[in-house]
Chains A and B, each alone.
Chain A
Amino acid sequence: MIALESIEFRYPVGAFRLVVPELRVERGETLAVVGASGSGKSTLLSLIAGILVPGVGTATVDGEEVSALAEPARRDFRLHRLGLVFQEFELLDHLDVRDNVLLPYRMSPRLQASVEDEQRAERLVEEVGLGGKWRRNVRRLSQGERQRVALARGLLLDPPVLLCDEPTGNLDPSTTDEVLALLLERVKERGTTLVVVTHDHGLLPGFDRVLDVAEFQEVGA
């Protein structure tokens, strides 16, 4: 499902270098990526998502060699075939829960949300525990609720791969547990491949596999 081969990446400025000889994540597998701050966890996720492009090597996701795609095609790939959840939630504050969850439809020139799609999105919002808050502006939600909205948005198009960058980084411990449990439950139900970047080692037991990016840096050092 996800295959990184002989990846080498460095930012235009600075000495940071990430080298990934090989990384494979199977369909339906849940992978936690850990490592110290600045070790390249988010960079690895961005390489998988096609937000960044490696200087050397290939990144293939769901059968598509993302690293070989042009920028518009990579955007299209992210929008239609990946689910993305970020640490800062990345919601649009001027929209309500409904519009934030339906954002992939609004952003896509190819998709048009039908009444059924809206009903499905509303059910999803209820499933993540936000029943009754469908038309509430996201600025009026708590941090945990905002992250649930982001999670619902990531799952809306039923993507084969869900990438989460520190999804519980801004949540208190009890909310963290709730959100993580919800996340794992949803991806297991749907057979979604999940890659989660986290620095919280308490979360790791829930995942099929744990990857420490330090090993890539060691290889590349």
Chain B
Amino acid sequence: MKDVLYLAWRYVAHHRFKTAVLVASVTVVLALPLGLRVLLDRGADALTARAEATPLLVGAKGSPLELVLDALYFGDETPPDLAWSEVDRVAASGLATAIPLHTRFDAQGLPIVGTTVEYLEERDLVVERGAEFAILGDCVVGATAARELGVDVGDRVVSSPQTVFDLAGVYPLAMRVTGVLAPSGGPDDRAVLCDVKTTWVIAGLAHGHEDLSKPEAASSVLSRDGDAIVANAAVRVYQEITEDNIEGFHFHGDPSGFPVSAILAVPVDQRSATILEGRYLAEDDPAQIVRPLRVMERLLDTVLTVRRYVTAAVAGIGLATLATMALVFLLSLQVRRREIATMVRLGMPRRRLAAVLACEVGAVLLTGVGLAAVVTLGVSRLGESAVRWIVELSA
């Protein structure tokens, strides 16, 4: 058998280019449908798992899919904002715990999620180093975010400016990292989590500046009328919240109208969930309530339909490729007719000759299958990133 394998090996090694093309064909034919299946299965699992862990979601009227993708996966596109009063509405119902989410901002492409510490508990997020965010300007970072931003406890994360041309718009805010989360295998790994009020500071709804009532701020004051002070542009606005200046931060306007992107509603029980859903049925209600699992299942139905079409197409291409390969092998035998005749004339047993030829074909097929397995494994390992990309594309 050793000699049979050796002769087969010598042939495929000598015809490297032909062998490489055949191996690549086998790899593609197998890896494409397998990889696609693994990718979609992993994606479906990931999407479903996150959705399953989120019983109810309240958001502004609009696309339920956009709302779910934003609230669960922190996608690039955000749904319309919801007023903070909706958070109070859910909380006041007594039917569910209301966890606000404000996902409008980012730090170097990583989502900043304004929420409450209940979010960490609800998502089973564990602070691996440091502590949870406690005051305005604190944040905890996911494991991946910490690595990508190169930050650890005590460092600063600066929010990205939304537009450099909007002078009245969002300014970067430096947040203090109080904790780094243990990897969770979900989108939270890439997030910067802070109190929702901190995101309002980023949004410009709250700000901090030097105390204009103090004498040293006199140069910034244009006029005083009782408690009302008019300042000029020289007033120093804080870009970071510290223990020294936190008292100088304050909100302008009615907090009940401040924005959130969505509300995670964690119902007391199933009955409460059903009752809460019923309270959002009115046509003129500015908010909607969705069960993320249902929304994701509808998306998955679409994905699975696409998968069926793609698999069918790939199977057709695969069959055509395999038929072509069979033809290539047969033509190869024709081309090698003289070589085969030589071995016959020299007295090589028919079975041994067939074994050599079979080993040559087998080597190509096995290598192709092996490579396809490696590619499929790679896809399953990198599936998370790919799925995120697909999800973001879908959103």
Q: Which residues of A contact B (CB under 8 A)?
A: 49, 51, 72, 74-80, 82, 84, 86, 90-95, 99, 103-107, 109, 112
Contacts and interface: CB of A to CB of B under 8 A. Distances in A.
B348 A75 contact: yes
A47 B345 CA distance: 12
B345 A107 contact: no
Contacts of A91: 342
Nearest to B344: A75
Contacts of A75: 344, 347-350
A80 B347 contact: yes
B14 A77 contact: no
Contacts of A86: 342, 345
Contacts, number: 59
Contacts of B347: 74-80, 82, 104, 107
Contacts of B14: 93-95
Given A106-B6, A106-B7, A90 B342 contact: yes
Main DSSP-derived SS at the B contact region: helix
Contacts of A107: 3, 343, 346-349, 352
Given A49-B345, A79-B349, 20 more contacts: A75-B347, A76-B347, A78-B346, A79-B346, A84-B345, A84-B346, A90-B346, A91-B342, A92-B339, A93-B339, A94-B11, A94-B14, A99-B10, A103-B346, A106-B3, A106-B7, A107-B346, A107-B352, A109-B349, A109-B352
A72 B350 contact: yes
Interface in B141-164: none
B126 to A, nearest CB: 61
B15 interface: yes
Interface of B: 3, 6-7, 10-11, 14-15, 339, 342-350, 352
A88 to B, nearest CB: 8
A138 B15 CA distance: 15
A78 B10 contact: no
Contacts of B7: 106
Contacts of B10: 94-95, 99
Nearest to A105: B3
A154 B254 CA distance: 102
B3 A104 contact: no
Contacts of B339: 92-93
Contacts of B345: 49, 51, 78, 84, 86, 90
Residue among A93, A104, A109 with max Cβ neighbours from chain B (10 Å): A109
A201 to B, nearest CB: 27
A112 B2 CA distance: 9
B357 to A, nearest CB: 13
Contacts of A93: 14, 339
Contacts of A103: 346
Contacts of A79: 346-349
A103 B342 CA distance: 11
A82 B347 CA distance: 9
Contact of A104 (B11, B344, B346, B350): B346
